[in-house]
Homo-oligomer: A and B are copies of this chain.
Amino acid sequence: MYNKWVPILQHSPLFAEISDQEIIKILDCLKPLYKHYQKGELSINNDFNRLGIVLKGELRFIKEDAKGNRTLVNIIKEEETFGEIETFAGTGLKPMLTLAEEPCSVMYFQTDKIIGHCKKVCSFHKTMLINLLKIVAFKASLLNRQVDYLGMKSLREKISTFLLETYKQEGSKTFILQITRYELAEFLNVSRPSLSRELSNMRDEGIIDFYRASIRIIDIDGLLKAVSR
């Protein structure tokens, strides 16, 4: 019954280092729920007491406020998990909307079955816990990074940090950004015109040069100066 999904689960970080046979055993043991969302289906996810993994399609998490304004919070794609943090932190959960743009299949694991002290201490169960630990830690480190960015006082500092980070990653002073201005502005939590304005200022000061997505860092020290508050 579950076997159909093993080839997909196999590639999920949740089942890293776990063989096909073991995955089947785990599924037999954890008895996950299986849920299918129709194309365009919008549902309220107010039960966060379980760990989800998207098997097929993608699931969009949407926040809706009292006025009915909707904000896209997250997109979970195939093989990715969601709900780990709320589940294991045991903190209050914010009910959210989920939207399936395309048909979407999801498997849900009950928390207490994962965490519960089932006395048969199977080694693959332990591996799964380690995988979960890595997944949650990784998400936490992403949040950490986001907190760092959001906490910066000036737009100049945000931009400089971002460019230095990209530079370090790319290994070259010239690179092509993989995100649009709008996305970058959203990530830095500023408005797009403000971002463009400040980028232009930095260009006028001879710190960087750019044309659309391609950026060239001219004066590294200029960037560093903005970063070291």
A residues at B contact (CB < 8 Å): 65-67, 69, 84-91, 115, 117, 119, 121-123, 125-127, 129-130, 132-134, 136-141, 143-144, 146-147, 150-151, 189, 224, 227-229
Main secondary structure of the interface of A (DSSP, over half): helix
Whether the pair A141, B86 counts as a contact (CB closer than 8 A) is yes
Shortest Cβ distance from residue A160 to the other chain B in the assembled complex, whole angstroms: 12
In angstroms, Cα B144 to Cα A129, docked, is: 22
Shortest Cβ distance from residue A177 to the other chain B in the assembled complex, whole angstroms: 20
Residue from B125, B143, B229 within 8 A of A140 (CB atoms): B143
- Residues of chain B within 8 A (CB-CB) of A127 are 117
Residue from B85, B123, B132 within 8 A of A141 (CB atoms): B85
- Residues of chain B within 8 A (CB-CB) of A89 are 134, 137-138, 140-141
